[in-house]
């Protein structure tokens, strides 16, 4: 979700949950398709409503981004289809227990050259360098980093 004044994108911090490979990570609202979802757009709208209490009108849809899949074989074999919505203002949010926190991140910060770089993380007990957006005490990496990079590439064009 993109909002103005200043232009920003909503990021959430996932709650810590046993068995969740993305537990505690910075992420975008979203989740798994349910049987009642007509399509993946319906999934995105439903999941955003459930996770942050924000009803997304289809009329605010700007479009979709390329699908993103995990690069690590130990992660579930999924594909994430990101959708981009433009909202006229920052609405109040009512996150559910799956969300430990949230923030509207200004696009200028994400586009700043010092924000995006390689960071060293401990991943499943192994130290690895990964491309990431470093935002104060938050690090956006993995599939969310790749989705954000795709979005920012579209914005630059």
Q: What are the pLDDT digits (tens) for 15-40?
A: 987 766 667 789 999 988 999 999 99
| Residue 144 and residue 150 in contact, taking contact as beta carbons nearer than 8 Å | no
97, pLDDT greater than 90: yes
- 152 or 18, greater pLDDT: 152
108, pLDDT greater than 80: yes
Q: Which of 84, 80, 89 is nearest to 58 (CA)?
A: 84
pLDDT over 90 for what percent of the chain? 76
- Supply the mean pLDDT for the chain: 91
DSSP tag of 29: S
All structural domains of the chain with their residue ranges: 2-156
Confidence of residue 136 (pLDDT cuts 50, 70, 90): confident
- 20 or 122, greater pLDDT: 122
| Residue 68 and residue 40 in contact, taking contact as beta carbons nearer than 8 Å | no
Q: Which of 35, 60, 24 is nearest to 45 (CA)?
A: 60
Q: How confident is the model at residue 21, as a pLDDT?
A: 62
60-95 pLDDT tens trace: 999 999 999 887 666 667 789 999 999 999 999 999
Model-wide pTM > 0.75: yes
Q: How confident is the model at residue 84, as a pLDDT?
A: 97
Dist. CA 39–CA 51, nearest whole Å: 18
Specify the CATH number of the domain 2-156: 3.90.79.10
Q: Which of 46, 47, 29, 24 is nearest to 137 (CA)?
A: 24
The stretch 135-147 carries a mean pLDDT of: 92
Q: How confident is the model at residue 121, as a pLDDT?
A: 87
The stretch 32-58 carries a mean pLDDT of: 96
Q: Is the dihedral of CA 26, 11, 95, 69 positive or negative?
A: negative
Give the Å distances, CA to CA, from 116 to 71, 90, 148: 19, 25, 11
């Amino acid at each position: 979700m993109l909002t103005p004044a200043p232009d920003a994108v909503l990021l959430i911090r996932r709650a810590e949950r046993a068995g969740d490979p993305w537990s505690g990570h910075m992420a975008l609202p979203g989740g798994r398709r349910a049987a009642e979802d007509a399509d993946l757009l319906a999934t995105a709208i439903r999941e955003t409503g459930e996770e942050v209490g924000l009803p997304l009108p289809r009329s605010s849809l700007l479009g979709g981004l390329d699908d993103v899949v995990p690069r690590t074989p130990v992660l579930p074999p999924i594909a994430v289809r990101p959708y981009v919505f433009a909202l006229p203002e920052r609405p109040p949010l009512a996150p559910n227990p799956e969300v430990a926190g949230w923030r509207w991140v200004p696009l200028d910060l994400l586009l700043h050259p010092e924000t995006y770089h390689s960071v060293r993380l401990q991943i499943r007990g192994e130290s690895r360098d990964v491309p990431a957006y470093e935002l104060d005490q938050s690090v956006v990496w993995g599939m969310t980093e790749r989705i954000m990079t795709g979005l920012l590439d579209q914005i630059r064009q």
